[in-house]
Amino acid sequence: MIQLKSIKKSYPSKNGAVEALSGIDLSIRQGEIFGIIGYSGAGKSTLIRLINRLEQPTSGRLIVDGKEISSLSKKELREARKDIGMIFQHFNLLWSRTVKGNISFPLEVAGVKKAERKKRVQELIKLVGLEGRENAYPSQLSGGQKQRVGIARALANNPKVLLCDEATSALDPKTTNSILDLLLNINKKLGLTIVMITHEMHVVKKICHKVAVLDTGKIVEEGNVLDVFQNPKMAITKEFVKQITHQEEADEAVDLMKQTHPSGTIIKLLFKGDSAKRPIINELFQRQRVEINILEGNISQTQNGAFGTLTLLIDGNIREIKSAIDYIEQQGVGVEVIQDAAQLIS
C-alpha cells in the first residue's frame, strides 16, 4: 500500500543543507497499523508529511496505492490526497464550525451534494461515538471528543490510508486508550491502513502490527511489534521497550537479590505468544524439587500476541536446578541465566 524507496529530505540552512531523513526504505502493507516511533527531532513528522506530500522529498520514490506521490502534478495530487486522511496532535478543527460542520468541510471542498454530505456526516458521527454532540462547537468539547471529530473528518472521503501525527500526545491516558480503541475498531471495520507517528511505546504496543524505530533521520530497527519488543537490538529500541516493561525496576530487584542471595541462581524467563499462557511456575512446583521465589514479572499484549518476562530466584540441588532450566526450555520458553553461582551453564 505504501512504499518509501531511498527517501531523503534536506532543508537549507546558513551552514549548508541539513538532512532530516537519510535514505528511508519502508514498506507498509494494506490493512496494517504501522507505528513509527522516535524521539523529538528524529524526523517522524517530516516522514509522515512526505506520505501525503505536504513535504516534497529531496530524492527517492514514494508510492501510495500504486501512485508515485512524489511525481504527481498538482491536480493529480489533489485527487490522490482524497485517499489519504490525516489527524493531528492539536486537532486542527475549524472553531467557527460545529461538529457537523467540521466533518462536512472536506466533503464540501470535494463538491459532494448536500443530501449525500448529510448522510455521510451522520454515518461518521455514529462511527466515532459523537451522537448527541452534532451541534456542539470545538470549544464545548473535551480533548477526546475533539480528536474524534478530527478522525471523522479525516474519514469523510473514504480514504484508504489514515496518517496519525502524534494523535494522542495531547490526551490523558484514559482518553488515549479510548482513541486507540476507536482507531483499532476503524482498522478492523474498514480495512484501513493506518500509519501512527508517536514517541509513546504504549501506543505501539496497544494497536500496531509493525513498528519502525527512527533515530536521527534513519530507520535503525523494524519488524513485528512482538518480535521487536521481545528482542530489541538497538540501544534506542531498548530504551523505548523499557517504557512498557518497567525494566529499570526489574533490574533494581535483581541487583538487590544478588546482594542478599549471592549463592542463588537467578534466571529470567522470556515468554512469547502461546507460551505466555502456560502455568510454568505451577508445573515447576509439581515436577522439580527446587525452591522458587518470584522477583518480578510483566506480561503485555500486542496485536501479534502476548509477550513478557518473569524473573526467578531458584535454590536447591545443582542437578535439580539444571533439570528445572532444561524443562522450562523444553516448553518453548526462553531462559536467560542472570546469576549462576554454581556455573550451571558453561
The single residue listed with the C-alpha cell 476503524 is 186
Residues 260 and 211 occupy one common structural domain: no
Residues 219 and 96 occupy one common structural domain: yes
Residues 73 and 210 occupy one common structural domain: yes
Residues 156 and 219 occupy one common structural domain: yes
The residue from 217, 243, 269 where one domain ends is: 243
**Residue 345 falls within a domain, yes or no?**
no
Residues 239 and 313 occupy one common structural domain: no
**Residue 278 falls within a domain, yes or no?**
yes
In this prediction, residue 136 carries a pLDDT of 95
| Residue 44 near residue 214 (C-beta atoms within 8 A) | yes
Residues 10 and 133 occupy one common structural domain: yes
CATH number for position 322: 3.30.70.260
**Residue 346 falls within a domain, yes or no?**
no
Residues 103 and 188 occupy one common structural domain: yes
Residues 37 and 174 occupy one common structural domain: yes
Residues 216 and 234 occupy one common structural domain: yes
In this prediction, residue 276 carries a pLDDT of 64
The candidate with the shortest Cα–Cα distance to 229, out of 249, 248, 244, is 244
In this prediction, residue 346 carries a pLDDT of 43
pTM for this model (two decimals): 0.80
CATH number for position 55: 3.40.50.300
Q: Which domain holds residue 68?
A: 2-243
Residues 119 and 12 occupy one common structural domain: yes
The residue from 215, 243, 271 where one domain ends is: 243
pLDDT by 10s per residue, the chain, length 346: 899 999 999 988 888 888 899 999 999 999 999 999 999 889 998 999 999 888 889 999 999 988 888 888 888 888 888 899 999 888 889 999 999 999 999 999 989 999 999 999 999 999 999 999 999 999 999 999 999 999 999 999 999 999 999 888 888 889 999 999 999 999 999 999 999 999 988 899 889 999 999 999 999 999 999 888 878 899 999 888 877 765 555 566 666 666 666 667 888 888 776 666 677 777 777 777 778 888 777 777 777 777 777 888 888 778 888 888 888 888 888 888 887 755 544 4
